[in-house]
């Protein structure tokens, strides 16, 4: 799974959560451990784990999170 910084993040309700600002990889395996999502709202960032990801393309990341679940 190759997650690109700047990719749009879409929640499971179809709404945009923000964009990927950073991918934090495991030092030993190189696998993603956390994905930082930049937002333009009261919440500055979301931290998601790989288990939250449903699908990754070059420009989008679909996640199993609702906008209402982030608080």
Per-residue model confidence as pLDDT tens digits over 38-66: 987 655 788 999 999 999 998 999 999 98
Q: For residue 71, is it within any domain?
A: no
Specify the number of domains making up the chain.
1
CATH of the domain at 38: 2.30.30.240
Confidence of residue 67 (pLDDT cuts 50, 70, 90): low
Query: Which of 16, 15, 20 lies closest to 4, judged by CA?
Result: 20
Structural domain for 43, as ranges: 8-66
32 falls within a domain: yes
Predicted pLDDT of residue 41: 66
Residue 71 has pLDDT above 50, yes or no: no
Q: End-to-end distance of the chain based on CA atoms, in angstroms?
A: 27
């Amino acid at each position: 799974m190759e997650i690109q910084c700047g990719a749009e993040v879409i929640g499971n309700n179809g709404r945009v959560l923000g964009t990927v600002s950073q991918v934090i990889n495991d030092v030993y395996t190189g696998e993603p451990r956390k994905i930082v999502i930049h937002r333009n709202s009261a919440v500055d960032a979301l931290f998601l784990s790989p288990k939250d990801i449903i699908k990754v393309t070059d420009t989008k990341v679909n996640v199993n999170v609702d906008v209402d679940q982030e608080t």
